[in-house]
Structure 1
């Protein structure tokens, strides 16, 4: 049923949107837009953002998989939001890396997380075993891991009477574009596996289209006027990759679409890209809106305290290109959404909410509106919503 809905939408050259659940306001904004415009929008939760109770939940609203799913399903009155796991697989949860789990233990851990997703009613599972803290696995080794997790999840879902769809990814985002031969090998291998084990083809395959997010910008080749040496430009290469996906009856999805210009985004449906994920940008938008409203209302001390909490979390470390050249303020903005659920921030937010309420400002409504505006930019450029 879901696949048929997507086929109907994509037949008119549109691109589906996956939103990373960066905060409760971001989740609420997504649900409200999906219901208002009656369009499907994916909520794509990474294991760091949302995970099962066995893994201590995630940093987004301190939700476990079960709590997150229940919250979305209850609020999604028209059933338009698609619950999806993003980057499910071994070592995709901080605990698995922190404890240095072996491959076998990490795979068992990933299966436990996937089981919780299926039990909670997730509809799409992204199987991504591209991370390996012990080495650099070959393409065939990664595919073997994909197939093991794929068959496990399908069998478990069948035993529980649950319907699920799959998204597969076999490499980390590089900022370049997939080679045609590499994608053909992946899709051919997947087709053989599905026929052999009698499991359905995946809904999506993740394709590199020249995007990569660092700091608060996209540094990949897709949005650049200067092309990468020895690489065909995305607008030349992407139609070939799209056609290849069509040949295998698998939709193409791209990640790291954050911060692209409107001029680049309008090319997504034109090129035939079926779906795209956006996540950090929405967290940054909410963080900037929070700082802006505090400074506009002379809550400078509170803004400074927020910057201190965010900076001290050091969650900016994985995102900065050069720590010495990036200002402390920028680091705080990058890390801001990671601390929204910390006790320190919750107490600070109560003070800010109370102070703003005295001026007739509802803080969460203001923040949610800012995130909504950012999500709408993608919905319009992807032709899911008509431009006014």
Structure 2
């Protein structure tokens, strides 16, 4: 059995990273959305070979308690998610640092809760139940995000109300953790919305000051990360935002005064020009999720085309899979793509999508990963991989390596190679 190093608390790890950044030896961490077990495998293999810490950021839609609806990623709840992570770490001989993080925890963070317009009391209770399972399972970081209130006109609740709900969630989680006599966890607060929230240094420092005051009154710890808007925005499979170095650097400096790291969300599909600015901006971490699911979807589609070609050439003898058609049908039917659409397209009917080949392909590219756990999708993928194996093609290896190439773009730009050793060896 692989012996994992003694876990450095995430707060300590980020503290050391902030100090290293001030010496010009820092890096920007990457929060990886656990879109599938193959994404986990790719992450562990790359982090093992390049010596950097892993942050796995699971939303409530992806991973949650069975009684709350479970998650669309492998049907994982908190305990089975952590078991899968540990198993893959062992299989890949990973002996570095990894952290299991709750991304966008709290009320209304499951699509159904928001769509059902649950009252605040009920939504808060469900969010707390989810956090309790996170804490029991051993999550290292909890994002406290009460900003998805469906009753608020527009997208962002007032900062004073967001602050109060955040502190209430903080108190609940800390009380439960202490009751269970579990080690400290890290916390992430803030919102990345572009039309309000923590978009300017003025609102950012106001929130930080008020948060510090409230936490001190309740004898609660300061957060590990605070989210701020750096200009990023993901739509379809594109980065449509404009990275704002000046604003990002200002927010990072303000957060660092409190020994808190600036966390950027919506970091998918950025180019090297944008990525290379993150270290001088002193951004502590970037969240990336749908990009890696899209890379896996694209790998399946390439393999499906290869399978058909080898059938045509007589290399594959039996019937081929129907991977592309089944994956496309399930991707459209799941309707989770609506959150990534713009304007009136968010309300387009499923029938209209299916009658539009170009839009159908676009949605498959964007939303295929939501369906990897669907029984029919898994059946077709497994059939395809078996056919390719008979033709001496290791499809699983191709998929994992394709995901690794995508993650590695961030590793290179973010100076992540060797950062675990630098963090471990750092002395105040």
Instruction: Please give the TM-score of this superposition, normalised by the length of structure 2.
Output: 0.83
User: Counterparts of 1:173 and 1:375 in 2: how far apart (Å)?
Assistant: 25
User: Counterparts of 1:171 and 1:259 in 2: how far apart (Å)?
Assistant: 17
SS in 2 for 1:310: helix
Deviations 1:102-153 (Å, cap 9, x if unpaired)?
Answer: 1001001100000000000000000111101122432111111000001110
Q: Is 2:94 aligned against 1:73?
A: no
Which residue matches 1:91? 108
Which residue matches 2:170? 150
Cα deviation for residue 357 of structure 1 reads 1.1
Match of 1:239 among 249, 273, 279: 249
After TM superposition, the structure 1 = structure 2 runs for residues 80-229 of structure 1, keeping only pairs within 5 Å, are 80-136=97-153, 137-162=157-182, 163-170=184-191, 172-174=193-195, 178-222=199-243
Instruction: Pick the structure with greater CA Rg.
Output: 2
Cα deviation for residue 241 of structure 1 reads 1.6
CA contact (8 A) 2:31 2:56 kept: yes
Which residue matches 2:288? 278
Cα deviation for residue 219 of structure 1 reads 1.0
After TM superposition, the structure 1 = structure 2 runs for residues 260-279 of structure 1, keeping only pairs within 5 Å, are 260-279=270-289
Cα deviation for residue 176 of structure 1 reads 10
* More divergent stretch after superposition (8-17 vs 189-198): 8-17
5+ residue gaps, structure 2, are 1-7, 309-319, 349-355, 419-428
Match of 1:291 among 301, 311, 334: 301
User: Counterparts of 2:237 and 2:27 in 1: how far apart (Å)?
Assistant: 26
Deviations 1:248-283 (Å, cap 9, x if unpaired)?
Answer: 221111000100101110110111111110001001
User: Counterparts of 1:342 and 1:128 in 2: how far apart (Å)?
Assistant: 29
SS in 1 for 2:339: coil
Match of 1:50 among 63, 81, 86: 63
Q: Is 2:411 aligned against 1:379?
A: yes
SS in 1 for 2:336: coil
Cα deviation for residue 303 of structure 1 reads 1.9
How large is the RMSD of aligned CA atoms in angstroms? Answer: 2.0
User: Counterparts of 2:322 and 2:80 in 1: how far apart (Å)?
Assistant: 34
Deviations 1:19-46 (Å, cap 9, x if unpaired)?
Answer: 0001111122122323333321100000
Cα deviation for residue 175 of structure 1 reads 10
Instruction: Please give the TM-score of this superposition, normalised by the length of structure 1.
Output: 0.91
User: Counterparts of 2:166 and 2:408 in 1: how far apart (Å)?
Assistant: 34
Which residue matches 1:358? 390
Which residue matches 1:36? 49
CA contact (8 A) 2:34 2:57 kept: yes
User: Counterparts of 1:356 and 1:74 in 2: how far apart (Å)?
Assistant: 26
Which residue matches 1:9? 17
Cα deviation for residue 70 of structure 1 reads 1.5
SS in 1 for 2:254: helix
User: Counterparts of 2:57 and 2:229 in 1: how far apart (Å)?
Assistant: 18
User: Counterparts of 1:97 and 1:374 in 2: how far apart (Å)?
Assistant: 32
Deviations 1:35-84 (Å, cap 9, x if unpaired)?
Answer: 33332110000000000122121000111111001221333342521000
